[in-house]
Amino acid sequence: MSFWKKLFGGSGEARGKDEPAAEAIEHNGFTIVATPFVEGGQYQTCGVISKEIDGELKQHKFIRADRFASKEDAIDVTQRKARQIIDEQGERIFQ
C-alpha cells in the first residue's frame, strides 16, 4: 500500500461501521447490535444501543479502543460493554 493511501485512509478495507455483525440481542428492555469494524487489520469494538421511548426510537452509538483479531471476540466484548453501559446508565444514555 502506498504512503498516500495509508495517510488518507485508503486502506481498501471495507469499514461498514453501521452494518450489524451479529444478531440483535435484548437486555433489560434495550436492544444491542454489535457493529465492530476493521481498523488496522483488527476488529474494533463498536455497537448501537436502542430503545423505544414514548413512541420514539432512541439510539446510542459507542466505539471503544479495544481491538481484536477475531470478529467473534469483538462481538462478545461489544455486547458485554453494551450491557455494562445499560446497567450503569439506563435511559440516561439518550440524554
Describe the chain by its helix, strand, coil percentages, rounded to 5: 30, 40, 30
pLDDT, one tens digit per residue, over 35-90 is: 999 999 999 999 999 999 999 999 999 999 999 999 999 999 999 999 999 999 99
pLDDT for res 18: 53
Instruction: Check if CATH label 3.10.450 holds for domain 15-94.
Output: no
Among all chains, which residue has been given the C-alpha cell 479502543? 65
The reply to whether the predicted model has a pTM over 0.85 is no
pLDDT for res 89: 97
pLDDT, one tens digit per residue, over 1-46 is: 444 444 454 444 444 555 567 899 999 999 999 999 999 999 999 9
pLDDT for res 39: 93
Ranges of beta strands (E only) in 2-55 are: 25-27, 30-34, 37-39, 42-53
